[in-house]
């Protein structure tokens, strides 16, 4: 994955899914604590599964602990990625739980929240349980499921939401489909209130975006591609706001991409409505020009927008309108992308680039390091109501150790993900995850 | 030549679109086409420039005039022309475009002419083959040889393109002919307008350098050339226009609307025509005003020029 590594990487050395646990002492790293909002040089002691101590100088007998020198490195809570598409079950040729967990662990992600648009769709408890069982076997990154909001994501009947909630569903969404029917949306928002469930919306007015494959405007017109108007997104958010105001349910808009959406959410937050949202790296780093030459790796959903939209997304991140950054990892095999633009599938992989691309906001846009880390740890964890993404004593030790400045080149062929469809192919980035701890185990170690 | 030297050869490997071609490239192809127009007028002999060269016509979409005129053009130049139509090929069996491209490439043709219903598909194919590729229409993106033959038709009647006022009327949104014509006419110095109902004008088309009009009366004022487009009923989902009757009433070209243009305005239509939908039958048959059948004749010459220019010696 990195230019600097000459020798061929060996999976057995990189990943560790053995059940035995060691005690670790991470010495001399800069600890980024999003809860305390400080970056300070401290030692951190991992005992069994949990974080047992964080202090200026921890001394202990060397045979009880594996000591790791973290001088010059940064230590933060493990990354929580709220939007990942797993290929399993049903689309194992694109991604398996194992390959996704490897990709996540190597990217510093310790908790993945997967979308329900698998095949079959996650619309009943049994499928959630089966995915969780698989994830436990793989034993790398933690996997949480969302359940589909409507049966089969067909949009017309709500799924067994509370049963899925009981089985561990952390939120409800129809994945890359918007809930088009306002009545169903209202019922769902009302229904999940009884158990304080979270609804995650992919905002897109489906009739307006029908057959659309690119952002409507100059580029789509010139290339002869059917456009998706940018307000198709804002329109649904606007509609949902009425419903959220009425039902007062927990509501989250995923991967927002337009100026208008940022403005609407900014105003909604000001007026005290309980709404959260996230975006993904392509929407703050790329614009619609990336589809020039019919580059199908840049065919995303929502589509890449204009430069004005991109700038406003960054503004939204800086002023706190946008709560979280997600990878929006959507693996697609070669056959799904090596096609005419119109026929190619939507989406790009992102697990292995989430950290450096988020850090690019620190390097290039004056976002402070604590806020950047919060966007991918504390904030998503709080939105979902999970007990991850922090460095609290006695919490499970989900920890990421990274080099803030290490430069590397994105080479998808070296990705651990089964699919290589990255819109950031060949980009030079800075910041590299070096070690990932999940439940106190060192699951990934980049040597 | 807009300050650019006259070319001896066409400087590109493929002809995928008009966008990005410089005036000298366009003029090179047009000059060569003009030679073939004269040749076709004089005799019915065949030439042997492309003797022992193989050209493949690969058409994923139905076509009469484009495919036939490429075939005829190739034969006039002595090339061996192969036609592959999708109905009888492996594409129907589920072969991907790239596999089709690589299969054909392995047969070492000298040129492939491709039409496909998706924008960008011809470019994708061109990246996978060693020979030159001519785009014979890719979705609503481009149809360069049509734009060239339109330009040739205009030149044959008006002598020059620079300074002319050209209106492209009708279904701009779904039209590759419109996009190629806009690029070509702009590059050669014409003033281009598009006219149509707002539902058929794509967003920000003005950024391609055209003026947008929503009614024929204003749009056709002082116009030298009218390019009528076919209402592409097969590409439409949802109601872009309420009825053919209403469309013809406001956007169909008839004598009355033609009077808004200059008295010697010339009518072009890429075909196939929907008589009574976008153009009045009597007008379509008026050989003084309509150059529709000239266009077909020019089509063969233009395609001869393109084949000649792109097949490697």
B182-204: pLDDT as tens digits: 999 999 999 999 999 999 999 99
pLDDT at B91: 67
> Comparing C-alpha atoms, which of A232, A223, A410, A351 is closest to residue A299?
A223
Phi and psi, residue A304, nearest 5°: -60, 135
Phi and psi, residue A143, nearest 5°: -120, 125
Fold of A78-384: TIM Barrel (3.20.20)
Query: In A, what residues contact B, Cβ < 8 A?
Result: 210-211, 216-218, 220-225, 227, 229, 293-294, 335, 338-343
* pLDDT surpassing 80 at residue B88: no
Which residues, 6 or more positions from B127, have their beta carbon under 8 angstroms from its beta carbon? none
* pLDDT surpassing 70 at residue B236: no
**Overall average pLDDT of the B68-84 stretch:** 94
Do the chains contact at B139 and A342, CB–CB below 8 Å?
Answer: yes
> pLDDT > 70: what percent of chain A?
97
Residue in B94, B114, B124 to test binding to A, most A beta-carbons within 10 Å: B124
- Give the confidence band of B86 by pLDDT, cuts at 50, 70, 90: confident
pLDDT at B46: 87
CA angle A382, A387, A393 (to 5 degrees): 115
Please write the tens of the pLDDT for every residue from A413-429. Answer: 999 999 999 999 999 99
| Beta-sheet strand order (sheet of B111-116) | B80-85, B54-59, B111-116, B132-138
Active-site residue set of A:
328
Shortest distance between the Cα of B271 and any Cα of chain A, in A, equals: 20
**Overall average pLDDT of the B100-129 stretch:** 95
> pLDDT > 70: what percent of chain B?
95
> Comparing C-alpha atoms, which of A76, A79, A123, A122 is closest to residue A97?
A122
Nearest neighbour of B123 by CB, restricted to A222, A229, A294: A294
Average pLDDT in chain A: 93
Do the chains contact at B123 and A293, CB–CB below 8 Å?
Answer: yes
Strands A428-438, A250-254: pairing is unpaired
Nearest neighbour of B179 by CB, restricted to A224, A338, A343: A224
Classify residue A89 by its DSSP letter: T
Nearest neighbour of B96 by CB, restricted to A210, A218, A339: A339
pLDDT at B87: 65
Q: Which residue of B has its CA nearest to A225?
A: B119
- Give the confidence band of A8 by pLDDT, cuts at 50, 70, 90: very low
- Give the confidence band of B238 by pLDDT, cuts at 50, 70, 90: low
* pLDDT surpassing 80 at residue B313: no
């Amino acid at each position: 994955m990195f230019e600097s590594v000459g020798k061929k990487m060996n999976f057995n050395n990189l990943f560790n899914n053995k059940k035995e646990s060691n005690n670790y002492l991470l010495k001399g790293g800069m600890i980024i604590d999003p809860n305390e909002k400080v970056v300070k040089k401290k030692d951190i002691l991992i005992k069994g599964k949990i974080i047992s101590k964080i202090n200026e100088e921890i001394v202990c007998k060397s045979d009880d602990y594996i000591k790791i020198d973290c001088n010059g490195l940064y230590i933060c809570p493990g990354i929580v990625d709220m939007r990942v598409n797993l290929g399993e079950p049903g689309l194992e040729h694109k991604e398996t739980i194992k390959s996704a967990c490897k990709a996540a662990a190597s990217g510093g992600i310790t908790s993945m929240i997967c979308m329900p648009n698998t095949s079959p769709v996650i619309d009943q408890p049994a499928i959630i349980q089966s995915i969780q069982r698989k994830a436990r076997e793989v034993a790398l990154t933690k996997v949480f499921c969302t359940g589909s909001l409507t049966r089969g994501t067909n949009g017309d009947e709500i799924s067994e939401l509370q049963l899925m909630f009981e089985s561990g569903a952390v939120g409800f969404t129809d994945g890359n489909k918007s809930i088009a029917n306002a009545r169903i949306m209202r019922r769902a928002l009302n229904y999940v209130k009884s158990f304080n469930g979270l609804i995650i919306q992919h905002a897109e007015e489906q009739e307006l975006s029908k057959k659309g494959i690119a952002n409507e405007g100059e580029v789509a017109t010139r290339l002869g591609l059917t456009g998706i108007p940018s307000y198709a997104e804002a329109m649904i958010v606007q509609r949902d706001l009425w419903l959220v105001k009425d039902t007062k349910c927990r509501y989250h808009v995923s991967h927002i991409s337009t100026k208008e959406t940022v403005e609407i959410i900014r105003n909604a937050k000001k007026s005290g409505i309980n709404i959260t949202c996230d975006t993904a790296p392509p929407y703050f780093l790329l614009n619609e020009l990336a589809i020039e030459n019919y580059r199908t790796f840049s065919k995303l959903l929502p589509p890449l927008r204009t430069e004005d939209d991109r700038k406003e997304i960054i503004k939204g991140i800086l002023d706190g309108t946008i709560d979280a950054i997600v990878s929006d990892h959507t693996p697609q095999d070669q056959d799904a992308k090596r096609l005419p633009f119109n026929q190619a599938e939507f989406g790009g992989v992102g697990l292995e680039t989430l950290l450096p691309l988020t850090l690019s906001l620190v390097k290039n846009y004056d976002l402070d390091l604590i806020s950047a880390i919060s966007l991918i740890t504390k904030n998503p964890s709080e939105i979902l109501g999970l007990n991850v993404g922090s460095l609290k004593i006695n919490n499970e030790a989900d920890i990421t150790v990274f080099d803030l400045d290490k430069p590397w080149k994105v080479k998808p062929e070296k990705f651990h993900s089964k699919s290589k469809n990255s819109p950031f192919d060949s980009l030079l980035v800075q910041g590299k995850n070096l070690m990932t701890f999940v439940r106190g185990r060192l699951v990934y170690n980049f040597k | 030549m807009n300050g650019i030297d006259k070319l001896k050869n066409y400087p590109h490997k493929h002809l995928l679109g008009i966008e990005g071609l410089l005036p000298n490239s366009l003029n090179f192809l047009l000059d060569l086409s003009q030679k073939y127009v004269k040749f076709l007028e004089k005799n019915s002999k065949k030439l042997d420039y492309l003797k022992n060269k193989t050209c493949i016509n690969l058409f994923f979409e139905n076509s009469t005039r484009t495919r036939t005129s490429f075939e005829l053009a190739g034969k006039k130049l002595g090339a061996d022309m192969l036609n592959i139509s999708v109905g009888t090929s492996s594409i129907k069996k589920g072969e991907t475009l790239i596999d089709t491209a690589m299969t054909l490439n392995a047969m070492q043709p000298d040129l492939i002419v491709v039409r496909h219903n998706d924008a960008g598909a011809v470019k994708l194919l061109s990246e996978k083959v060693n020979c030159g590729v001519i785009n014979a229409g890719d979705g609503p993106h481009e149809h360069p040889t049509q734009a060239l033959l339109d330009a040739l038709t205009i030149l044959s009647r008006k002598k020059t393109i620079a300074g002319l006022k050209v209106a492209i009327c009708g279904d701009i949104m779904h039209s590759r002919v419109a996009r190629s014509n806009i690029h070509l006419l702009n590059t050669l110095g014409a003033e281009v307008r598009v006219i149509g109902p707002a539902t058929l004008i794509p967003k920000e088309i003005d950024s391609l350098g055209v003026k947008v009009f929503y009614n024929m009366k204003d749009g056709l004022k002082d116009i030298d050339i009218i390019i009528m487009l076919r209402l592409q009923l097969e590409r439409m989902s949802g109601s872009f226009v309420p009825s053919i009757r209403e469309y013809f009433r406001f956007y169909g070209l008839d004598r009355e609307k033609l009077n808004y243009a200059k008295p010697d305005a010339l009518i072009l239509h890429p075909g196939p025509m929907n008589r009574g939908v976008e153009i009045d039958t009597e007008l379509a048959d008026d050989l003084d005003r309509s150059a529709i059948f000239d266009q077909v004749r020019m089509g063969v010459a233009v395609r001869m020029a393109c084949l000649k220019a792109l097949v490697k010696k």
